Amino acid sequence: MTAPPRPQLHVWRHPRPEGAAGRCIGAQTDLPVHWRRAKRLARRIQAQARRQHWPHVIHCSPLRRCADVGRWLKRWGWQLCLDPALLELNFGSWDGKAWANIPKTAVDAWVADFSNHAPGGGESLAALLQRVAAWQPQATTLAVSHGGWMLAHAWLVEHGAVPPCANRWPAPPGYGECRASP
């Protein structure tokens, strides 16, 4: 007897938001994306779902840079589920600031205790990893989320409960990039 297929997760990083360059952007800064970028990513998701016979349900972070993609899909008959569990890391008082205006000593403190330090008094990476681990789809799931969320998910898939360190943390996916995992 063969085992049932494991649910797959396909997560796309949101399109490039307006006004993000050089800034620390997390869960508190709700930047827009140009409607054409949102629509273009929604079309790519729709086409891939059609080819792969995936469900027409999209889970999105409630921030506009993700939710706007889901809203296009909803216009085309998809079910849209906005889920705060898919939010980016909360950078606290750093959120929205230019990286150049965040003291190097503050960034160094985060790097020194990468997993447990809450940058800007926001959310620690350990807390993000717990939030991501708790989000367990039971069937093939399509989502639009953030680079940090996607990296946390990838870390968990590859390393399990091993706490991350800054020098082993991967680079974020490109805007609009999809990552799949079993």
3-state secondary structure of 144: strand
Q: Is residue 126 part of a domain?
A: yes
CA-based max dimension of the chain: 59
Would 28 be classed as within a structural domain?
yes
- Say if 56 falls within a structural domain: yes
What pLDDT is recorded for position 34? 98
Which pLDDT value is given to residue 112?
96
Residue 3: per-residue pLDDT: 53
Asked if residue 1 is part of any domain, the answer here is no
In a domain? residue 143: yes
Nearest to 25 by CA among 126, 131, 122: 122
DSSP-derived letter for residue 100 is G
pTM attached to this predicted model? 0.94
With a cut of 70, which residues of the chain have pLDDT below it?
A: 1-6
Q: Please state the φ and ψ torsions of residue 61, each to the nearest 5 degrees.
A: -60, 145
Task: Tell me which residue of 55, 21, 13 sits closest to 38, measured CA to CA.
Answer: 13
Write out 136-168 in H/E/C secondary structure: CCCCCEEEEECHHHHHHHHHHHHHCCCCCCHHH
pLDDT score for 5: 61
Return the residue matching tokens 């049932």.
Answer: 4
pLDDT reported for residue 7: 78
Write out the residue range of the structural domain in which residue 153 sits.
Answer: 9-181
DSSP-derived pairing of the beta strands 79-82 and 178-181: unpaired
In a domain, 4, yes or no: no
Counting the structural domains of the chain, the total is 1
Q: Which of 175, 176, 171, 139 is nearest to 155 (CA)?
A: 171
Given this model, what pLDDT does residue 4 score? 56
Place of tokens 């639009």: 144
Q: Summarize pLDDT for 125-148 with one digit per residue, the tens.
A: 999 999 999 998 889 999 999 999
H or E segment at 143? strand 141-145
CATH number at residue 115: 3.40.50.1240
Domain annotation covers residue 55: yes
